[in-house]
């Protein structure tokens, strides 16, 4: 991964190092060094100046090298060390005459020893700065990698959610068109009514295609169109009641296209006759939407084609981490899903 250098953080670190080392050196010079007060102040200033110049030289070298090399390459790392140590040596050797002019310390050492002290000091100072800079760069890279991983996970979840939603529509549309064809043969008026509800349903599907969640009101409206279509198809063999309080419709949310597949699932897997109608009750219980029906399973197994409950369960898990609750006994079957609150409203678009 090509790292983007955290220049602002490195600059802040440099100022922090200047202040810290200046404070530490001032304590040393004031309390432990026997010299003139003006010299102690001068030594403190020179310490801060040296740290600052080397630190900002390091940042400048990093910027120049980043423009030419990938920061993860061996060449970048090698050149960085060579140039920063050379620059720090030049800076300290350049400061040595100023230091000597005030302190006259070179008189205490042979000719080559005094400059050598500054070269060694430059190596120590640059090593400390490189270590601190590496820590900041490593921390920045780790944070950036975590952010990119989070974005990838989000993008993957959104893509998976969209794919799962797309699996619903072809199955539904195939059944709807077959029903519409049969209706126009027997009852054109019923066919006209059916196609109005089908158009409403498809319009909502297109409008909410990219939305991960919908308001409960939108889900109920979508479900109502689907329900009217099924009532035209099955008549009194389908008895469905939607009993949801109005106050929860607009400020609560569900994964998009979640109620309709639950009703579709009940219709698909149960026998519906005038003598033994399928009774479905949709209501709210303890912040959950419950879709409850009497159980009269079809004698022939129906393939789910990976939509319906499994589809909804996976989308719900991707979105909120919650699970749908399925209960089945000898005579009844129910599915309940937790209502989502306003914190999920940002996922609508």
* CB atoms closer than 10 angstroms to residue 222: 22
The Cβ-side half-sphere exposure at 206, using a 13 Å CA radius, reads 6
Per the domain annotation, does 348 fall within a domain? Answer: no
Are 221 and 101 in a shared domain? no
Q: At what angle do helices 113-186 and 74-103 cross, to 10 degrees?
A: 140
- Final residue belonging to a domain, choices 165, 181, 211: 165
Per the domain annotation, does 347 fall within a domain? Answer: no
Token digits of residue 228: 């009217």
How far is it, in rounded angstroms, from Cα 13 to Cα 27?
21
Q: What are the phi and psi torsion angles at 13 (to 5°)?
A: -65, -40
Per the domain annotation, does 2 fall within a domain? Answer: no
Tens-digit pLDDT string for the chain (349 aa): 445 788 899 999 999 999 998 888 887 766 665 666 777 787 788 888 999 999 999 999 999 998 888 888 899 999 999 999 999 999 988 888 887 777 676 666 666 677 788 889 899 999 999 999 999 989 988 888 888 888 767 666 665 655 555 555 566 777 788 888 888 888 888 889 989 998 888 887 777 656 778 889 999 998 999 899 999 989 999 999 999 998 888 889 988 888 988 998 899 889 999 999 999 999 999 899 999 999 998 877 655 544 567 777 877 887 777 888 999 999 999 999 999 887 666 555 4
SS3 289: strand
Give the length of the chain: 349
Per the domain annotation, does 344 fall within a domain? Answer: no
Are 176 and 140 in a shared domain? no
Are 224 and 129 in a shared domain? no
Token digits of residue 263: 């009703």
H helices present in 67-187, as ranges: 74-103, 113-186
Per the domain annotation, does 1 fall within a domain? Answer: no
Are 104 and 225 in a shared domain? no
Per the domain annotation, does 271 fall within a domain? Answer: yes
| Range 93-106 burial, b when 16+ CB lie within 10 A, else e | eebbeebeeebeeb
Q: Could you list the residue range(s) of the whole structural domain that residue 141 is in?
A: 7-165
Are 24 and 161 in a shared domain? yes
Token digits of residue 17: 């190092």
Are 114 and 176 in a shared domain? no
Looking at residue 306, what is its pLDDT?
A: 40
Are 199 and 310 in a shared domain? yes
Structural domain count, the chain: 2
Long-range contacts of 7-16 (CB under 8 A, 24+ apart): 7/59, 7/62, 7/63, 9/136, 9/140, 10/58, 10/59, 10/62, 10/133, 10/136, 10/137, 11/56, 11/59, 13/55, 13/132, 13/133, 13/136, 14/52, 14/55, 14/56, 14/58, 14/59, 14/129, 15/52
Per the domain annotation, does 154 fall within a domain? Answer: yes
Are 35 and 48 in a shared domain? yes
- Final residue belonging to a domain, choices 145, 165, 185: 165
CB contact set of 268 (below 8 Å; sequence gap of 6+): 302, 308
User: Among positive and negative, which fits the CA dihedral 151, 156, 158, 159?
Assistant: positive
- Final residue belonging to a domain, choices 149, 165, 181: 165
Are 161 and 175 in a shared domain? no
Looking at residue 14, what is its pLDDT?
A: 92
Q: CA angle, corner 119, sides to 28 and 95, nearest 5?
A: 70
Are 224 and 260 in a shared domain? yes
CB contact set of 3 (below 8 Å; sequence gap of 6+): 71, 72, 137, 140, 141, 144
Are 153 and 186 in a shared domain? no
Are 259 and 207 in a shared domain? yes
Ramachandran assignment for 308, one of left (phi > 0), alpha (psi -120 to 50 degrees), beta (any other): left
How far is it, in rounded angstroms, from Cα 20 to Cα 58?
18
Looking at residue 103, what is its pLDDT?
A: 66
pLDDT in tens, 143-182: 888 888 887 676 666 656 555 555 555 667 777 888 888 8
CATH number at 277 reads 3.30.565
Per the domain annotation, does 343 fall within a domain? Answer: no
Looking at residue 64, what is its pLDDT?
A: 93
Looking at residue 155, what is its pLDDT?
A: 62
């Amino acid at each position: 991964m090509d790292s983007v250098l955290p220049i602002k953080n490195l600059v802040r670190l440099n100022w922090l190092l200047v202040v810290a080392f200046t404070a530490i050196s001032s304590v040393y010079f004031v309390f432990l060094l026997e010299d003139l007060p003006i010299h102690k102040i001068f030594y403190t200033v020179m310490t801060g100046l040296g740290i600052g110049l080397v630190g900002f030289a390091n940042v400048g070298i990093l910027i120049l090298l980043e423009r030419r090399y990938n920061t993860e390459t061996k060449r970048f790392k090698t050149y960085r060390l060579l140039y920063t140590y050379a620059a720090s040596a030049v800076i300290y050797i350049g400061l040595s005459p100023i230091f000597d002019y005030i302190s006259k310390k070179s008189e205490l050492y042979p000719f080559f020893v005094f400059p050598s002290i500054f070269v060694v000091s430059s190596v120590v100072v640059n090593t400390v700065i490189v270590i601190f800079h590496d820590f900041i760069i490593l921390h920045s890279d780790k944070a950036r990698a975590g952010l990119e991983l989070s974005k990838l996970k989000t993008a993957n979840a959104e893509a998976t959610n969209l794919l799962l939603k797309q699996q619903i529509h072809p199955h539904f549309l195939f059944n709807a068109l077959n029903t519409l064809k049969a209706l126009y043969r027997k009852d054109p008026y019923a066919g006209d009514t059916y196609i109005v509800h089908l158009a409403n349903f498809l319009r909502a599907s297109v409008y909410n295609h990219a939305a991960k969640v919908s308001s409960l009101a939108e889900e109920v409206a979508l479900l109502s169109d689907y329900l009217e279509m099924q009532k035209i198809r099955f008549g009194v063999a389908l008895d469905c009641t939607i009993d949801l309080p109005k106050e929860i419709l607009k400020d609560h949310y569900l994964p998009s296209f979640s109620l309709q597949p639950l009703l579709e699932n009940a219709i698909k897997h149960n026998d519906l006759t005038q003598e033994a109608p399928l009774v479905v009750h949709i209501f709210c219980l303890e912040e959950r939407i419950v879709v409850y029906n009497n159980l009269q399973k079809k004698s022939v197994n129906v393939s789910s084609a990976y939509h319906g409950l499994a589809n909804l369960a996976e989308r719900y898990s991707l979105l909120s981490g919650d699970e749908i609750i399925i209960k089945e006994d000898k005579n009844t079957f129910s599915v309940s899903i937790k209502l989502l609150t306003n914190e999920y409203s940002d996922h609508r678009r």
